[in-house]
A and B are shown apart, each in its own frame.
Chain A
Amino acid sequence: MIIVNYIASIVLIVLGLYTVCTKKNLIKVVLGLGIVDYGVNLLIVSLGFNDGGTAPIYQMSDLLNGVAPHFFVDPVPQALTLTSIVIGACVDAMALSLVIMIYRKYKSINADDVRRLHG
């Protein structure tokens, strides 16, 4: 099952990179970056997944009795994903605000027109 997640995440990353590289519309470029981010997030969250595992919660009685903990999913990747999502959202917001200001200044959001710094 998990292999589907990996494939999907890689497809998302490649799709996002493709968008960034080929679309001239700056908003689409930002969307591409977002897609790459989601792909990576999916990859991370899938890494912690164990088929058949439970939520990572100890029961006090188990610990006291010395019973082996349950087979559960890895909680760390979920924390990582959460952080990464927040960062991704910030970056997207920043990028979109820059695009808005670029539009005000250049009257265009086509990448071919936004090239005053070159050479």
Chain B
Amino acid sequence: MLILKSLFYILIFPGALFTSCFGLFLAGVDRKVVARMQHRIGPPLRQPMYDFFKLLGKETIIPHAANKLAFLAAPVIGFVSLALIMLFIPVGGFTAFSGNADMIVILYLITIPGVALIVGGSSSGSPYAGIGISREMVTMMAYELPFVLVLLAVARKAGGSELAFSMEKVAMWQAENGNMLFQWSMIPAAIAMLLVVPAEVGTQPFDVAEAETEICEGPLIEYSGGALGMFKLNTAMKMFVMSGLFVSLFLGGIRTGSVLCDIIIFIVLCVVVTIICMSTTHAVTARLKIEHLFKFYWTFVAGMALCSLILVWCGL
């Protein structure tokens, strides 16, 4: 029974199926909203799903310079770790494996899809991919610092005088004291986190790694068919996971009493976060240069997060 239950968690509800479906839905929302902002009709909401299934039906070409195992395994590893992160993030107060993991685990699990992209791109043997992985890695280094600072600030706020890296404790604290976002010392951290989310997902102003017009999609250049579809799915799932992480860190205090309502509220909040931090920035900005991106994250964004951490440390 326990095994069945865990299998259900892993494969269906907060795990693989739910995350991928909802991730694709969020990607659709993102594309639609961007289109509406540009005064277009835009693709239907199901468009990412069509993309994914179309890619599954296409031929997967493995170039002769590529290492077959790494080339095919990389997207799957990314997919699996993304599906698993969702098990540790409270979805409206519901965690599949509560108490089993904390923020640091999530932080590390979130880097795995990036690493998978890098290893996959690197194994394809293309020099464009080489440039792409370099940029992806620099982006990763860039957002890691503010991300860490935000997590530490939240942990300190929720934990008080004791250590609380656990997501569950953050959720409990918010259920008692209201949303983290409305603590004024946490506002800089929330803004920093809103800027970390698009970099992690790799949407418009921060998509230097996959710049399709300069370096031919970077790490994805040699991917086609099912493997590419997997990567596109990973990007969509990352949107959901990151916006879900934001919601559970900063807006996790909304409780109606019924789990179903909580989950619906969670999903709605995810959509809102996606629209604010991904679609809007996508529609209004142009792509950054890689060195500007790094500087931006290590000065402005990290500064915001550090400011928040110091405020929290002073007991505010």
Are A and B in direct contact (Cβ within 8 Å)?
no
Chain B residues proximal to chain A, CB less than 8 Å = none
